[in-house]
Structure 1
């Protein structure tokens, strides 16, 4: 079962991963309540909320499996694409308001994004390439029925 976490919790996890911390180490520091080690490894956020959460079991599950972000904003999508996959707006894909176009994903990354983003975001215009896919992520309010 896919667990749901907040955008903030996703930022905290993905910021550690993007800097190279593996899942086992993240879990160890959380279980040991070692905020100092987490914050020294990645000082872009205060990781206290990972330890002080009332949803520790959910966080642990999110570390080792796919998760869904409960509510995700335009900037949330943009930031997670960067943190989780190293993708930059304007360099790797095009961004216009609440439309992200021609995002290059591996097949596994596409599956992760499909699971991760909330239902108000839709993945559309999937084009299969030799090494993966190009896809658009569009806010549901911007989809025009033809």
Structure 2
């Protein structure tokens, strides 16, 4: 079965639901109910959920497959990377990484987090990985993310 590709806005909203601790079956039920007011109450009142609801109606099977079987971003912008780092990995600019020109530098992720990040993010982003061992011996990956110029 091919990997589902989701547009950035809908993938990030799906990650918002996951970040709130909802399980796959709970998220699927929320999507099935297709209630914008419910999403605002459960997740975020500031975020506009209307587009997600429309996408859910028009692409319900794709979205349910993404929830249950995983997905990749079809395309993600620089701002989308920032949001993904914040929403999914609880990483903030200035605290957990730096931005220099068009590069995310010193993003600290566990090996497992990095593998998930690499899977989610399309190949138009080039990632340089440097091994890192913390003082307590925990292995992590230091990830520098650069956009690949084509």
TM range (shorter): 0.7 to 0.9
Aligned to 2:149: 141
Aligned 8 A contact 2:129 2:141 in 1 = no
Which residue, 97, 102, 116 being the options, matches 2:101?
Answer: 97
Higher mean alpha-carbon deviation, 94-103 vs 121-130, is at 121-130
Post-superposition Cα deviations, 1:13-72, rounded to whole Å, max 9, x if no partner, equal: 112222333322211011122332212112132323333222211211222333221121
Aligned 8 A contact 1:29 1:35 in 2 = no
How many equivalent pairs are there? Answer: 142
Give the unaligned 5+ runs of structure 2: none
Q: CA deviation at 1:91?
A: 0.4
Aligned to 1:18: 19
Aligned to 2:50: 48
Partner SS, residue 149 of structure 2: helix
Q: CA deviation at 1:89?
A: 0.9
- In structure 2, distance between residues paired with 1:125 and 1:17: 26
Aligned to 1:69: 73
- In structure 2, distance between residues paired with 1:41 and 1:111: 29
Instruction: Give me the TM-score of the superposition, normalised by structure 1.
Output: 0.86
Say if 1:64 and 1:126 are closer, same or farther in 2 by CA, change over 3 A: farther
- In structure 2, distance between residues paired with 1:80 and 1:108: 16
Instruction: Give me the TM-score of the superposition, normalised by structure 2.
Output: 0.84
Q: CA RMSD in A?
A: 1.9
Give the unaligned 5+ runs of structure 1: none
Aligned to 1:121: 125
Aligned 8 A contact 1:93 1:100 in 2 = yes
